[in-house]
Chain A
Amino acid sequence: SAVISQKPSRDICQRGTSLTIQCQVDSQVTMMFWYRQQPGQSLTLIATANQGSEATYESGFVIDKFPISRPNLTFSTLTVSNMSPEDSSIYLCSVEARRGTGELFFGEGSRLTVL
């Protein structure tokens, strides 16, 4: 298993500001995934964060808006830049603790409200 700590758990932000979400895992993992879950919706994959290389973004998500860092095998950050009310969502960090099992472990999520 994997234990994932995410910070902040929630925040209220002003339009135009940026917020960085931190994700700490209790074990070394190759890939970390960032998802967005808008109210009442499913999870949408934003990007895959690999240690030592640039993150791989999904269609509709760009690095300027969602810059990601992956400085080591246990930590990653996602920044939501120049926020607008449409960015209000829960952002979830996730890892596949054992490659090939398909078993994703999730952090508790960061609930962002943009005013």
Chain B
Amino acid sequence: GQQVMQIPQYQHVQEGEDFTTYCNSSTTLSNIQWYKQRPGGHPVFLIQLVKSGEVKKQKRLTFQFGEAKKNSSLHITATQTTDVGTYFCAGPGYNFNKFYFGSGTKLNVKP
């Protein structure tokens, strides 16, 4: 399957601080998705990026897709305790109808 690496593995921040997680692929991706999994929950879709250099925002969350379509990032501005969870990127398989998840970044926000 597709190899999608994600860093960092863990991030502990104080509430109000910013947070960024990075996703890197050795091959060009046709698209990339981001998911959030709360503790004890299942992954929930956040967004899909398709275009080279694409930037999308959802309130305090900013998603970027690299120009070469090999990397992506999720940035959270002024974290809140509700942001706690694990953030996964996911990339398609070579036949584009499967989804392979990155290793995830676990975010902990201290109040």
Q: Residues on A close to B: CB < 8 A?
A: 31, 33, 35, 42-45, 48, 58-59, 92, 94, 96, 101-109
B43 and A43 contact, CB distance less than 8 A: yes
Contact between chains at A106 and B100 (CB < 8 Å): no
Residues of chain B lying within 8 A (CB to CB) of residue A109: 42
Which of the listed residues A31, A33, A43, A101 has the most CB atoms from chain B within 10 Å of its own CB?
A43
The answer to whether B33 touches A103, judged by C-beta atoms less than 8 angstroms apart, is: yes
* Residues in chain B near residue A103, CB distance under 8 A: 33, 45, 48
Q: CA A62 – CA B26 in complex, angstroms?
A: 27
User: Which residues of chain B come closer than 8 Å to A107, judged between CB atoms?
Assistant: 42
State in angstroms the CA–CA spacing of A45 and B48 once bound together.
Answer: 19
**Number of B residues whose C-beta is below 8 Å from A?**
20
Residues in B with CB closer than 8 Å to A58 are: 1
Binary flags per residue of B81-103, CB closer than 8 Å to A gives 1, else 0: 00000001010100001111111
Which B residues lie within 8 Å of A48 (CB)?
97-98
Complex Cα gap A31–B98 (Å): 9
| CA A30 to CA B1, docked complex, whole Å | 20
Residue of A nearest to B6 (CB): A42
Q: Shortest CB–CB separation between residue B28 and chain A, in angstroms?
A: 16
21 contacting pairs across A/B (C-beta < 8 A): A31-B97, A35-B101, A42-B104, A45-B100, A45-B101, A48-B97, A48-B98, A92-B42, A94-B99, A96-B99, A101-B48, A102-B31, A102-B33, A102-B45, A102-B48, A103-B33, A103-B48, A104-B45, A104-B90, A106-B43, A109-B42
